[in-house]
Structure 1
Amino acid sequence: MTAMEIEHSAVDSVLNQDDPHGLLDRILKNDMKTANEDEVKKAESEILMLASKLSKTGKSKELANLIRYIRPFLSNISKAKAAKIVQTLVEKFLEMNTTSGLEVDLCKECIDWAKEEKRIFLRQALEAKLLSVYYELKDFDNALAISGPLLKELKKMDDKNLLVDVQLIESKIYHALGNLPKSRASLTSARTTANSIYCSPRVQGSLDLQSGIVHASEGKDFNTAYSYFYEAFEAFETCGPDYRVRTISALKYTLLSKVMLNNPEEVESLIIGKLALKYGGKDLEALKAIAGANKNRSLSLFQQARETYRSELMDDPIIKMLLETLYDKLLEQNLLRIIEPYSRIQIHYVAESIKLPLDVVEKKLSQMILDQKFNGIIDQSDGGILIVFEEETPNRTFDTSINIIECMSKVMDTLYIKSKKLS
């Protein structure tokens, strides 16, 4: 028995349990050419029902095989219906979040089939899904290789809904690569395109979420980021339970923006708010712990929160990035508090006081001096001593004298002009 026959028999075993009328069996055997309209509609419904069952039970291989074996049936129905069925089945397969590598192969296989059948719109939609898969797998080179030609094609075809999705994914890819200017440019293009069409709450929420991420990453503009994150949270909240994960992510970003704005006390009021109350759990407890550490300016509490809620905080790259920024901010505040009473202080004493390695503290102090966070130097000749200079009181005598001279010059010029007129 060949590998194809084994896979086919695996699908048949599932069909025997879920297809008592034999419709799907006829589909697989390419026996639907003489079927009437009612049978075709029933077959479509049976396919979608079986796909849902396979998706819920985690049978990814059987679902992939089902997508392959219904192709003869798809050739006998309208292109619009066929495209809708294929997209729905591929979406259900991708929703399973499989990491076996089947998702890339399946998308490519469906794209090749769409090319052979000359189904341009289906092929474009599948390429957009493959682009999203590459982004999830962090295969950014292959993702960008697809996005460029696809965007040019979509702009010519004027398919604005799909164009928004592709531009948004491209923005996410460039952000993940650290190319913030290109990420912002792609996002601006996506928002411009979205303004000319109706956008579902899912798309609008995704646009707002990415806008908040770009503002928080590029300009550290957390006021604007907070507004976008909250808009995204409200949009995803209306999408139902299927978008619960995205809703919680948007809420976490919203709370973290408040922490970054030095308003940790507002985190508690947001958590107990009407919208956020039903999303309580470890995710919100993690942000509450971070807000408490920031409020007390405690590095130890901050580190403790990161360790206790590692999966809730460090698995998300955006939260991880913002927490690194917050950690640097807390570290600077604690160092300034330690060195404030001294004009000369040993660096190893500072390291012991803050309970961090000596090289980390020395590097951070050097960076703070260069950034003009305080005025001082590090003397390495005596075992590493930080010398803090007193702030010089600005002498305003010089500036005042210059202003007086400028005013007198203007007066003399005015008197000279008047004297010439009299003469």
Structure 2
Amino acid sequence: MGRLEDAKAIQKSDPAKAKAQYKSILSVRPEITDAALKEYEQALMALGELYRDGGQTGELAELVKETLSVLNAFAKSKTSKLVRQMIDLFTTIPNTLDIQINVTKSCIEWAIKERRAFLRQSLEARLVALYLEKNAYRDAIALIDTLLKELKRVDDKMMLVEVQLLESRAYHALRNIAKSRASLSSARTSANAVYCPPLTQAGLDMQSGMLHAEEKDFSTAYSYFIEAMEGYHSQEETKKAVDALKYMFLCKIMENHTDEVNQILQSKHAIQYAGRDLEAMKAIATAHSNRSLAEFEQALSNYKAELTSDRFIRSHSTDLYDNMLEHNLSRVIEPFSRVEISHVAKLVGLDTQQVETKLSRMILDKKLSGVLDQGEGCLIVFEEQGTDKSYDAALKTIKKLGDVVEVLYINQASLLD
């Protein structure tokens, strides 16, 4: 039995000894033979997996950097695959974003030095995704601009789709919806020219759904989220499939179709992915159905991690809460012409300062006709004035007179000719 087989045999029972044997194999530069390179590759990945399972991020990062000098012995395609596989080992280790960025940058520098253009582009696209995860959107866009120019020159459609999709996500995060939509349209155009893998197609559908939701077209967004969920489910991307399901729930809630949420919960995918994420959306749907701000705030408190960690859910949950608050305030103050703000706050079950701030915003947005008397702590509600139709009628009369004058002028001009 060889050294590699010995190490694999004791990997679970004695990981420390297995690590030592893997290191021994990796300490010798492999011969340029298929068997030697295969043994080196297997030892490298096995040692990397041991570091990953043990949460030894520093050792794993050092292993990747040390291995780069040996990768010249491998074919270019094999080198690219190995580098990506090694970096992928970090993805299941929590709180390693900064280390992933540093390791990826080191690999990019090595790829530039070795003139591995394709590998460099692939790693730069990965670095963009890491920047987005870190919320470093400006860094991401700066790298995207450079990368897109190069990809358009070499006409690499598949990589182009990936980078344009990342660009759309970056601009979406920066709330530049117009540029985000333009980038997504470019990505879809590029995708039509090549075979688009299921994961990439699911990503395009997910982004399309999010942008339609930003434009309040929740019906179309729901359709895209279904496609995205099916795509992620087929590729066993559990987390992204759950996200798509959450967004489907959100669309139904925003459309006031909370009764359909229970139907979705009975679907096979919802049953398979049951957990706190879907429970959180069900709690929001119940609170919205009951028009209860207290239940809504309780749901936000009970499921804080599930509802606030996702930027898309957080944004629309805030809109939903504001709409519910406006509706409840309008209903409470409807019978009054003058009412104490503290009394309104008591009726809706919120803090007086919070209610005062919201009422002032509603007045400024002209959703409420009234004024706040802060000295007395009261809201004075004005009677709604009927629309004066005489102004519109006068404008129509003036327009008709203008038309008559213009016709007379044309007739007079024709007579003079």
TM bucket by the smaller chain?
A: 0.7 to 0.9
Count of residues paired in the alignment? 391
1:297-316 equivalent positions in 2, closer than 5 A = 297-316=291-310
**Partner Cα separation in structure 2 for residue 70 and residue 209 of structure 1:** 37
Report the 3-state secondary structure (helix = DSSP H, G, I; strand = E; otherwise coil) of the residue aligned with 2:367.
Answer: coil
Task: Report the alpha carbon displacement of residue 320 of structure 1 after superposing the two structures with TM.
Answer: 0.9
1:85-104 equivalent positions in 2, closer than 5 A = 85-99=82-96, 101-104=98-101
Q: 1:220: which partner in 2? A: 216
**Partner Cα separation in structure 1 for residue 375 and residue 128 of structure 2:** 57
Bigger mean CA offset, 173-182 vs 144-153: 173-182
Q: 2:27: which partner in 1? A: 28
Bigger mean CA offset, 77-86 vs 301-310: 77-86
1:177-192 equivalent positions in 2, closer than 5 A = 177-192=174-189
Task: Report the alpha carbon displacement of residue 335 of structure 1 after superposing the two structures with TM.
Answer: 0.5
Report the 3-state secondary structure (helix = DSSP H, G, I; strand = E; otherwise coil) of the residue aligned with 1:342.
Answer: coil
Task: Report whether the alignment pairs 1:150 with 2:130.
Answer: no
Task: Report whether the alignment pairs 1:392 with 2:386.
Answer: yes
State which of 306, 312, 318 in structure 2 corresponds to 1:318.
312
Q: 2:340: which partner in 1? A: 346
**Partner Cα separation in structure 2 for residue 137 and residue 143 of structure 1:** 10
TM-score for the superposition, normalised by structure 2:
0.84
**Partner Cα separation in structure 1 for residue 254 and residue 308 of structure 2:** 17
Q: 2:235: which partner in 1? A: 239
Task: Report whether the alignment pairs 1:230 with 2:226.
Answer: yes
Contact 1:51 1:63 in 2 (8 A): yes
State which of 250, 255, 260 in structure 2 corresponds to 1:261.
255
Contact 1:27 1:73 in 2 (8 A): no
1:124-139 equivalent positions in 2, closer than 5 A = 124-139=121-136
Superposed CA offset, 1:241-276 (max 9, x none): xx2111111111110111011111111110111221
Contact 1:51 1:89 in 2 (8 A): yes
**Partner Cα separation in structure 2 for residue 70 and residue 282 of structure 1:** 41
**Partner Cα separation in structure 2 for residue 100 and residue 143 of structure 1:** 14
Report the 3-state secondary structure (helix = DSSP H, G, I; strand = E; otherwise coil) of the residue aligned with 2:312.
Answer: helix
Task: Report the alpha carbon displacement of residue 329 of structure 1 after superposing the two structures with TM.
Answer: 0.4
Task: Report the alpha carbon displacement of residue 97 of structure 1 after superposing the two structures with TM.
Answer: 4.0
Bigger mean CA offset, 207-216 vs 365-374: 365-374
**Partner Cα separation in structure 2 for residue 274 and residue 247 of structure 1:** 13
What amino acid sits opposite 1:230 in the alignment?
I
**Partner Cα separation in structure 2 for residue 330 and residue 207 of structure 1:** 32
Task: Rate the CA distance shift 1:81–1:393 in 2: closer, same or farther, 3 A.
Answer: closer
Superposed CA offset, 1:350-394 (max 9, x none): 122223233332332233234333433444565423223145377
Q: 2:18: which partner in 1? A: 17
Q: 1:3: which partner in 2? A: none
Task: Report whether the alignment pairs 1:110 with 2:97.
Answer: no
Task: Report the alpha carbon displacement of residue 309 of structure 1 after superposing the two structures with TM.
Answer: 1.1
What amino acid sits opposite 2:115 in the alignment?
K
Report the 3-state secondary structure (helix = DSSP H, G, I; strand = E; otherwise coil) of the residue aligned with 1:345.
Answer: strand
Residue identity over aligned pairs, in percent, reads: 41
Contact 1:115 1:123 in 2 (8 A): yes
What amino acid sits opposite 1:220 in the alignment?
K
**Partner Cα separation in structure 1 for residue 384 and residue 84 of structure 2:** 68
Task: Report the alpha carbon displacement of residue 100 of structure 1 after superposing the two structures with TM.
Answer: 6.8
TM-score for the superposition, normalised by structure 1:
0.83
Contact 1:343 1:390 in 2 (8 A): no
Q: 1:356: which partner in 2? A: 350
